[in-house]
């Protein structure tokens, strides 16, 4: 037996050496998935397969590169001839050779995100559509989703459910934008990233005897890494390439259904759950890699217990022989600010007690906006850190945009702030106008602000400049009167920044709005808990004092070049990584799990998988934290601890004092699913069919909604308002809808669109 096989445990060895027919490898966290995949390819070549007959599909170029390097370590230079790469790179390579068969030139252009947005923007302008309703990012996301589900422009136009959703969201011509966008790309000989999958499927569908047979013969062996992250279209292509309708070729997919966390990108856990059933007639072999080589027993068993509450899963029991290790530590705090302090205190304690390096430690959060508090305390204690998978909170564009307005309100002479703020959101004051102002300032040796009203422009630009100057002068006049939060909130709204961000309803757009709200919440904290000033009896809570404080906090000098740093990242970014010590923070209902997921069982299942990914990153030490109160939209909100905390058995927790029993009258503790094996989806009761003609529906004013009223919602039907709470701008209604299961929902009234009955 070859040496590389001796490095594998029994199940891994079977997964590597079973080379014929369909194979499903269910790989738990830390179970040696990458080793199995790479050794399987090496074994195929050692057994006589030609390297160019092997196609290995990954999700990142880094994964493909590492795969080839590992294979080369076993079999040498032959590894270079394996077709290993991302779905997009491999499919682009095939399309270059075959594009003419579907009406594209072989040298077609590949559009990136900015190219796509530019084309869509031009179409919106040509069709004279309202930019707020027809938001570019929303349309791009809509078109991408359609392609991933094999919905052509014609099918989209004929799909009444999609059309109704567009009508409700005031973009009824989305299908026409999609149609024009597709035609324009075709005319330009261009494909976007979604087209590299969409058009390949079209190629295989249209040319079954020529192209399909050609690539089925070329790729005798097909392997897919991270199969749980595939979308509907990617799985459809895999089935085409392995001749699913007849006797399939040799296909091996590797993944973990419990780590499927990219539904917002179109990934579907259904592919993982369906694979065994789909290939069962062809003698599929299933191997479960259940030994975890990464984490200690308390961490592994906590993860096992939590994921059991999901109804859709491939049952497995992960185990570890690395000893019991430390129990899970849970930190309960009164406020989010205290949470930041306590977490960083614990980081310092672990470094001293267990001799950990900074790079051994990671702080994971559900949303990027949460990094701010931890960044501030890490800086306060001089702990080097790096925000991974993104930039420092204060370096994010939307945060810098608002800070530019704040700086300009304090100091009209700040020319960099002026350049950033004056035409964002767009006011028609372009670069040419700014160049004229800059030139006049240089000639007269004055500030740009002092020259802004004198520059020669057309009447529309002059009016826009006048309105901007008047607005900023109004802000400046309040510097010594208003506290930092009241003024900053007004600037954020009146500048148009908040409305602009609200118009983008994609996940990225919502994240950017969260970041701006996170900045405002930080200013609120500064006003209510200002840092002490030994020279002043009453602390300064004005905007100028805040900006000085933030400028010191965001000075990157001491951390920029440090290699030994604490890692801050979202849980999504942490997938595939591991650390000796992991902190999962912000474990509160409506934050983790996210409020956006709480309307559906599938959404909650995905949030639980995300939590599972978070806790299985830890090797030795796992710390979970939550805050009883947290700033949200400038208001201190009370929070319930995340349901996920109550799903960890107390025997694995260091101290149960931080755990609070959840109120059984509102949300009884979930019960483990108890299923075993790969199983079909449980059939849930069909949602009630709600037939409401949008023409007859008239939304009532949000401020008219009161507790006790009966209301109508286009999607959820009739309901009764149980309670209304929150400030004027953020009023929330608790409503029970007559949906068979008497579903109770929390809706923000200014967005809810309710009709009083």
How does strand 579-584 pair with strand 361-365?
parallel
Cα–Cα distance, 375 to 559 (Å, whole number): 11
Question: Which of the following is catalytic: 379, 386, 617, 643?
Answer: 617
Cα–Cα distance, 728 to 429 (Å, whole number): 34
Cα–Cα distance, 29 to 488 (Å, whole number): 45
- What 3-state DSSP class applies to 160? helix
Question: Which of the following is catalytic: 53, 192, 225, 647?
Answer: 225
Alpha-carbon distances of 700 from 466, 705, 709, 737, 755, rounded to whole Å: 37, 8, 12, 17, 5
The answer to whether 172 touches 162, Cβ cutoff 8 Å, is: no
Q: Helix, strand, coil shares of the chain as percentages rounded to 5?
A: 50, 15, 35
Nearby residues of 282 by Cβ (< 8 Å), 6 or more positions away? 21, 22, 247, 248
Token digits of residue 273: 């759950």
- Check if 259 is active-site: yes
Nearby residues of 345 by Cβ (< 8 Å), 6 or more positions away? none
- Check if 617 is active-site: yes
Question: Which of the following is catalytic: 34, 152, 315, 335?
Answer: 34
Alpha-carbon distances of 671 from 125, 215, 591, 646, 666, rounded to whole Å: 53, 47, 22, 11, 15
**Dmax of the chain from CA atoms?**
85
Question: Which of the following is catalytic: 259, 308, 370, 623?
Answer: 259
Dihedral sign for Cα atoms in the order 305, 306, 312, 313: negative
Other beta carbons within 10 Å of 575: 19
The answer to whether 629 touches 278, Cβ cutoff 8 Å, is: no
Nearby residues of 692 by Cβ (< 8 Å), 6 or more positions away? 712, 714, 717
- Check if 268 is active-site: no
The answer to whether 565 touches 604, Cβ cutoff 8 Å, is: no
- Check if 315 is active-site: no
The answer to whether 517 touches 561, Cβ cutoff 8 Å, is: no
- Check if 470 is active-site: no
Cα–Cα distance, 755 to 294 (Å, whole number): 54
Nearby residues of 558 by Cβ (< 8 Å), 6 or more positions away? 382, 384
Token digits of residue 195: 């087209």
Token digits of residue 262: 């990219």
Cα–Cα distance, 314 to 487 (Å, whole number): 53
Question: Which of the following is catalytic: 226, 360, 375, 628?
Answer: 226
Nearest to 549 by CA among 570, 573, 529, 574: 529
Question: Which of the following is catalytic: 13, 33, 68, 294?
Answer: 33
Cα–Cα distance, 315 to 184 (Å, whole number): 47
In this structure, what DSSP letter does residue 127 have? T
Chain centroid to Cα 385, Å, comes to 22
Query: What separation, in Å, do the N-terminal and C-terminal C-alpha atoms of the chain show?
Result: 76
In this structure, what DSSP letter does residue 393 have? G
Is residue 451 reached through a cis peptide bond, with omega within 30 degrees of 0 on the bond before it? no
- Provide the CB-side half-sphere exposure for 120 (13 A, CA): 26
- Check if 619 is active-site: no
Cα–Cα distance, 362 to 567 (Å, whole number): 5
Cα–Cα distance, 436 to 280 (Å, whole number): 71
Positions annotated as catalytic residues are 33-34, 225-226, 259, 617
């Amino acid at each position: 037996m070859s040496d590389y096989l001796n490095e594998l445990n029994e199940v891994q060895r079977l997964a590597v050496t079973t080379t014929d027919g369909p194979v499903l490898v269910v790989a738990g966290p830390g179970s040696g998935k990458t080793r199995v995949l790479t050794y399987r390819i090496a074994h195929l070549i050692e057994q006589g397969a030609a390297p160019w007959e092997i196609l290995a599909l990954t999700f990142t170029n880094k994964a493909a590169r590492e795969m080839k390097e590992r294979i080369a370590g076993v079999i040498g230079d032959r590894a270079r001839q394996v077709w290993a790469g991302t779905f997009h790179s491999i499919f682009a390579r095939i399309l270059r050779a075959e594009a003419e068969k579907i009406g594209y030139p072989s040298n077609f252009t590949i559009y990136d995100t900015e190219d796509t947005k530019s084309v869509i923007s031009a179409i919106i302008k040509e069709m004279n559509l309202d930019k707020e309703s027809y938001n570019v990012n929303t349309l791009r996301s809509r078109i991408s989703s359609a392609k991933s589900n094999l919905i052509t422009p014609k099918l989209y136009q004929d799909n009444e459910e999609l059309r109704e959703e567009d009508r409700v969201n005031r973009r009824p011509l989305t299908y026409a934008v999609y149609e024009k966008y597709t035609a324009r790309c075709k005319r330009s000989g261009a494909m976007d990233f979604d087209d590299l999958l969409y058009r390949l499927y079209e190629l295989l569908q249209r040319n079954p005897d020529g192209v399909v047979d050609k690539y089925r013969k070329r790729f005798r062996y097909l392997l897919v890494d991270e199969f749980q992250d595939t979308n509907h279209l990617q799985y459809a292509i895999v089935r085409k390439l392995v001749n699913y309708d007849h006797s399939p070729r040799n296909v091996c997919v590797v993944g973990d259904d419990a780590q499927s966390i990219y539904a917002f990108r179109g990934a579907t856990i259904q592919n993982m759950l369906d694979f065994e059933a789909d290939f069962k007639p062809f003698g599929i072999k299933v191997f479960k890699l259940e030994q975890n080589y990464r984490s200690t027993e308390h961490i592994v068993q906590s993860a096992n217990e939590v994921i059991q509450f999901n109804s859709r899963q491939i049952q497995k029991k992960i185990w570890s022989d690395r000893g019991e290790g430390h129990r899970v530590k849970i930190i309960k705090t009164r406020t989010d600010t205290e949470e930041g302090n306590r977490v960083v205190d614990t980081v310092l304690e672990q470094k001293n007690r267990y001799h950990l390096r900074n790079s051994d430690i990671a702080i994971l959060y559900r949303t990027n906006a949460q990094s701010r508090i931890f960044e501030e305390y890490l800086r306060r204690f001089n702990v080097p850190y790096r925000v991974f998978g993104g930039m420092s909170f204060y370096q994010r564009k939307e945060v810098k945009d608002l800070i530019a307005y704040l700086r300009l309100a304090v100091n009209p002479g700040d020319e960099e702030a002026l350049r950033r703020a004056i035409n964002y959101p767009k006011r028609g004051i372009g670069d040419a106008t700014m160049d004229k102002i800059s030139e006049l300032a240089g000639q007269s040796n004055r500030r740009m602000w002092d020259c802004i009203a004198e520059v020669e422009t057309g009447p529309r630009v002059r009016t826009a400049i006048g309105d901007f100057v008047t607005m900023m002068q109004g802000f400046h006049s309040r510097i010594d009167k208003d506290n930092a939060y009241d003024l900053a909130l007004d600037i954020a709204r009146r500048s148009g920044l908040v409305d602009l961000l609200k118009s983008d309803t994609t996940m990225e757009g919502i994240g950017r709005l969260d970041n701006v709200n996170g900045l405002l919440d930080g200013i609120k904290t500064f006003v209510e808990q200002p840092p002490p000033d030994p020279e002043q009896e009453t602390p300064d809570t004005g905007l100028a004092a805040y900006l000085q404080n933030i400028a010191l906090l965001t000075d990157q000098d001491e951390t920029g070049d440090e290699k030994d740093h604490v890692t801050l990242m979202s849980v999504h970014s942490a997938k595939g990584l591991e650390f000796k010590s992991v902190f999962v923070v912000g474990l509160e209902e409506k934050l983790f799990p996210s409020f956006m997921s709480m309307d559906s069982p599938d959404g909650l299942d995905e949030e639980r998988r995300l939590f599972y990914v978070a806790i299985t990153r830890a090797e030795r030490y796992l710390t979970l934290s939550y805050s009883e109160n947290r700033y949200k939209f400038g208001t201190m909100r009370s929070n319930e601890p995340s349901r996920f905390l109550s799903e960890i058995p107390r025997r694995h927790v260091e101290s149960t004092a931080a755990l609070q029993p959840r109120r059984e009258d509102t949300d009884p503790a979930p019960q483990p699913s108890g299923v075993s094996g790969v199983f079909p989806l449980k059939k849930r009761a069909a949602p009630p069919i709600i037939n409401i003609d949008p023409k007859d529906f008239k939304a009532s004013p949000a401020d008219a909604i009161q507790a006790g009223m009966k209301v109508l919602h286009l999607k959820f039907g009739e309901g009764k308002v149980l309670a209304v709470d929150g400030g004027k701008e953020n009023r929330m209604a608790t409503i029970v809808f007559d949906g068979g299961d008497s579903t109770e929902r929390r809706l923000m009234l200014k967005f809810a669109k309710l009709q009083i009955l």
